[in-house]
Amino acid sequence: MVQERLFPLPDLSGRLAVLGGQSRDRTELCLGLALRQASQHGVVVCLDAHGRQQLEMPFRLLLREDAAYIPLPAEGTISDDIAQRVLQTLQAGLGRTPSLPPLLIVDGAQETADWEHTLTFFLRTGMVVVEFLLHPSRLVFGRYETTLLLHAAGAEAEAISQTVGRKVTSENLTALKPGEGYFIHLSRVYRVRFPEYS
C-alpha cells in the first residue's frame, strides 16, 4: 500500500535501482545524493555515460576531494582502468574519519558479467550502489533491494508500474512533482522528497 504522506528520502543501503525521470530529474537526484553524502563526510563516485556538464561541473567544483566524477564512453562500457579508479577513490575515502558507507552512482553503464562481479564485490564491502536504469526491463528481480521511481508519463509510466507489480500506478507516477519519487523497499511504498542540491 502506498503511503501518500511525503517523507524525506531515507539513508540508503545495498543496491538501489532508479527508474523514470527526464535528464534534469536524474541530474538533480544525483547531485542531491552526492551533496548529502559529502556533507556527512562520506565518499561518493559517479559513473556517467551521458557526459552531462550540468552534473560534472558541480561534482568537480562543489564536492572536490569528497567525490569523483568519472565519465564513461557513450556506450557505457566500464573498463578495468575505470573499475580500478573507482576502487582507489573508495579506498582513499575509507582511510578518513569513519562516516557513511561509500556511495557509487551509476548512470548508463553497460551490463557485463565482469562489471556485475565488481559490483558484487563492492556491495560486500558495504558500499551503497545507486543505478539509473535506462528501461524498466532492466529491473532484474532479486538484484535490487530497493527501487526508486521518478516522474514518468504515458507508456513509460505504464511500463514502470507493471514492472514493479502495480505497487505504484501509472497515474501516481504522472502526478509526481519535481523533487519527489516513490521509494519501494520489499512490500512497502513511500512517497519521498529528494535531498536538495542547491
Confidence at residue 87, expressed as pLDDT on a 0 to 100 scale: 84
Confidence at residue 71, expressed as pLDDT on a 0 to 100 scale: 86
**Pairing verdict, β 180-185 and 146-149:** antiparallel
Q: How many other CB atoms are there within 10 angstroms of residue 97's CB atom?
A: 5
Q: Provide the CATH number for the domain formed by 11-148 in this structure.
A: 3.40.50.300
Q: Name the one residue in this structure whose C-alpha cell is 573499475.
A: 83
Structure confidence by residue, pLDDT tens digits, 90-141: 776 666 655 678 899 999 888 888 889 989 988 988 889 999 998 898 898 7
Q: Name the one residue in this structure whose C-alpha cell is 568537480.
A: 60
CB 139 within 8 A of CB 17: yes
**Judging by beta carbons within 10 Å of its beta carbon (0-12, 13-18, 19+), is residue 8 exposed, middle or buried?**
exposed
Structure confidence by residue, pLDDT tens digits, 5-34: 899 999 999 999 999 999 889 989 999 998
HSE-CB of 121 using CA atoms within 13 angstroms: 11
Confidence at residue 14, expressed as pLDDT on a 0 to 100 scale: 93
Confidence at residue 95, expressed as pLDDT on a 0 to 100 scale: 60
CA distance 20 to 194: 14
Q: What is the value of pTM for the model shown?
A: 0.91
Mean pLDDT value across residues 26-47: 88
